[in-house]
């Protein structure tokens, strides 16, 4: 098989995947209503550029049918918790920082101004200056006790023990994860943790939602320095009291602790 034929097969596979993604995400086949606009724009573009269709022109199509929006979409929990963590870290300026399982997008930025070790049950396989990636289980962290000065774990502990990511089922998984984070943190060290807060419940097997007081009770050797929150409408509230989050359905609580 010659290289030209291989390229065509590869292009065909890529094109099929692109069309499947466009038609099935985020709502299956909802994007069909945008197809007339897509082909109108496509042929108009060809006319404007005065170019001719090449044999594999159709195979090079990569439709993005649902992106024409009045504003940039974002997940408030992940957007604000990443911003919150970066601001806290930049104020405290640790020599090194360890993160367990948080959003890789936030960690990639964090590693730009502080040496960061990222630990995850599903190892991140990248090479990036300032970032070291290690495999590890939050229930048995590859860290010595009382050794970590700066530690974060954002939107993670609520998943532990529910089997979502291939981890063993354990009703006490979140509590055990909290205790393991506390074990690794040295005296005087900082812990930055976020989790869904509001009406306490288990939404199997996606996540748990905790009353904010529960999180504080799970870290008996730590002192809460500040609490911030994203409410049910996606608005960020910095340095608020725990009471603020108790009546939420699915907020995001961000806890900054010091180990005393």
SS (H, E, C) the chain: CCHHHHHHHHHHHHHHHHHHHHHHCCCCCHHHHHHHHHHHHHHHHHHHHCCCCCCCCHHHCCCCCCCCCCCCCCCHHHHHHHHHHHHHHHHHCCCEEEEECCCHHHHHHHCCCCEEEEEECCCCCCCECCEEEEECECCECCCCCCCEEEEEEECCHHHCCCCCCCCCCCCCHHHHHHHHHHHHEEEEEEEEEEEEECCCEEECCCEEEECHHHHHHCCCCEEEEEEEEECCCCCEECCCCHHHHCCCCCEEEEEEEEEC
CATH number for region 76-259: 3.40.50.150
Res 129: pLDDT: 97
254 within 8 A of 229, measured Cβ to Cβ? yes
- Least confidently predicted of 11-25, 74-88, 156-170: 11-25
Going from N- to C-terminal start, the domains of the chain cover 3-60, 76-259
Count the Cβ atoms, other than its own, within 10 Å of residue 20: 10
pLDDT higher at 50 or 229: 229
Looking at residue 53, what is its pLDDT?
A: 57
pLDDT of res. 56: 52
Confidence class of residue 258 from pLDDT cuts 50, 70 and 90? Answer: very high
Residue 234: pLDDT over 50: yes
pTM of the complete model? 0.87
| pLDDT > 70? residue 188 | yes
pLDDT tens digits, one per residue of 7-51:
667 777 777 887 787 777 777 777 788 889 988 988 887 777 666
Give 133-146 pLDDT, tens digit per residue: 999 999 999 999 99
């Amino acid at each position: 098989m010659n290289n030209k034929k291989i390229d065509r097969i590869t292009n065909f596979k890529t094109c099929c995947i692109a069309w499947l993604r466009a038609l099935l995400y985020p709502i299956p086949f909802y994007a069909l209503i945008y197809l007339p606009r897509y082909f109108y724009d496509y042929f108009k573009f060809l006319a404007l550029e005065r170019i001719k269709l090449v044999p594999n022109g159709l195979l090079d199509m990569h439709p993005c049918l649902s992106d024409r929006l009045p504003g940039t979409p974002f997940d408030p929990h992940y957007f604000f918790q990443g911003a919150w963590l970066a601001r806290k870290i930049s104020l405290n300026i640790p020599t090194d920082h360890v993160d367990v399982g948080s959003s890789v997008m936030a960690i990639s930025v964090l590693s730009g101004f502080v040496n960061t070790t990222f630990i995850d049950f599903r190892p991140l396989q990248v090479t990036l200056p300032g970032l070291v990636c290690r495999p590890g289980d939050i229930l048995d962290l590859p860290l010595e006790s009382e050794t970590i000065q700066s530690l974060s774990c954002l939107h993670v502990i609520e998943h532990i023990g529910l089997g979502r990511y291939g981890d063993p089922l354990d009703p006490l998984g979140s509590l055990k994860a909290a205790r393991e984070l506390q074990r690794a943190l040295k005296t005087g060290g900082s812990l930055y943790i976020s989790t869904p807060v509001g009406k306490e419940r288990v939404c199997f097997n996606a996540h748990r939602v905790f009353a904010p007081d529960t999180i504080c009770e799970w870290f008996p050797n730590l002192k809460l320095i500040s609490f911030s929150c994203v409410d049910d409408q996606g608005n960020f509230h910095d340095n608020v009291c725990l009471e603020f989050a108790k009546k939420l359905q699915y907020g995001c609580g961000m806890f900054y602790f010091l180990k005393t």
